[in-house]
Amino acid sequence: MDFWLHVVNMILLFSILGVSLNLLLGYSGLVSMAHAAFFGVGAYAAALTARHLGWPFPLTLLAAVVITTILAGGVTFPALRVRGEYLILLTLALQMVLYELMLSWTDLTEGRTGISAIPRPTLFGRTLVTPAQFLPLIAACAAAVFAVGYRIGESPYGRILKAMRDDERAALAIGKSVLRYKVAVFSLSGALAAVAAALFAHYQAFINPFSFTLDRSIFLVALVVLGGTANLAGTLVGATLFVGLPEVLRFLQARQEIVDAIRDFAAPRRRAPRSPRSRRRCPSPRPGTTTAARCSAPRVCTRASAASGPPTI
């Protein structure tokens, strides 16, 4: 049971990340390849404040949100003067820089070893340890993030973001400060990603830089695209397929068997050549042999194939 609850928790965590990225990719048309780095910054902020400062979970969550919001808005400000593939390249460079900092700043992040023994959150006098105990907290945070995403999408602010996505010049023509809205949506996206980051750090009780690589950023983009851009319900579907399905297959230990079965089914079938059937032949009686001799002598039979030469005894 704990395994299935763990899968549900991970689906909810990545759906929060999907909603945060959907504000950029779906509503604003901004492709960010640095989302895993923002996720990592929030996780390290929560882990460090909990482990070294002894802050409770609400304060570590607040620290993660504030630090990630400032970083996402401030660092991406120069990059937001460009768009399209240039924005992708700049956020890709930001992802690589932040990832290398996580690896090399060992005094703070402990490098490849990672930070372990992150304190579990305590709420209402109860320490959350098992997946079942974490589920209400993660589900409540996911519901709050989905509500925020929905309200933004239906608000005048969300309509301006969609106008920027469809035609940035038209948004400029009606007097909207496109750059200011871009910085705001990047900051908001980072803040929502930090919610998932703080939950992730406390839930796993261990983080290292390998959880926040470029592959994770690509994974999140694929999750949002599969579920549907500007579609919050689709984000949950994408998280279920990308996170839940591999975990279920791993649990059933059937991934390789399924792949082999599909490969065998798809491979062309070749019929093996049938070998000619052998037949038994008995030699004809020699001339001059009497009936009694033929009956008393043992019958010696030979086996010959259709393709062979004269039968041998």
Domain membership of residue 236 (yes or no) is yes
Share of the chain above pLDDT 90, in %: 55
pLDDT value of residue 273? 56
Residue 190 — pLDDT band, cuts 50, 70, 90? very high
Q: Are 47 and 115 in contact (CB under 8 A)?
A: yes
Helices 2-22 and 131-154 pack at an angle, to 10 degrees, of 20
> Looking at the 3D structure of the chain, how many domains does it have?
1
Provide the whole-model pTM.
0.79
Cβ contacts of residue 256 below 8 Å, gap of 6+? Answer: none
In a domain, 299, yes or no: no
**The domain containing residue 111 runs over which residues?**
2-258
> How many Å apart are CA 36 and CA 33, to the nearest integer?
8
The answer to whether residue 270 sits within a structural domain is no
Among the ranges given (25-29, 80-84, 201-205), the one the predictor scored with the smallest mean pLDDT = 80-84
Q: Specify if 51 maps to a domain.
A: yes
Q: Has residue 311 been placed in a domain?
A: no
How confident is residue 306, by pLDDT bands cut at 50, 70 and 90?
very low
Six-digit token pair at 7?
């899968």
Write out pLDDT tens, residues 132-181.
999 999 999 999 999 999 999 899 888 889 888 888 788 788 778 888 88
Q: Residue 46 sits in a domain of what CATH number?
A: 1.10.3470
- Residue 303 gets the label, from left (phi > 0), alpha (psi -120 to 50) or beta, of beta
d(CA 82, CA 152): 24
**Residue 87 scores a pLDDT above 70:** yes
Q: Give the whole-angstrom CA distance, residue 97 versus residue 92.
A: 9
CA 239 to CA 236: how far, in whole Å? Answer: 5
Is position 282 within any domain?
no
Rounded Cα distance between 279 and 304, Å, is 6
In a domain, 99, yes or no: yes
Over residues 40-85, the pLDDT tens digits come to 999 999 999 999 999 999 999 999 999 999 999 888 777 777 777 8
Q: pLDDT tens digit string along 246-280?
A: 877 777 765 567 667 766 776 665 555 555 554 55
Name the helix (H) or strand (E) containing 131.
helix 131-154
pLDDT higher than 90, residue 95: yes
In a domain, 285, yes or no: no
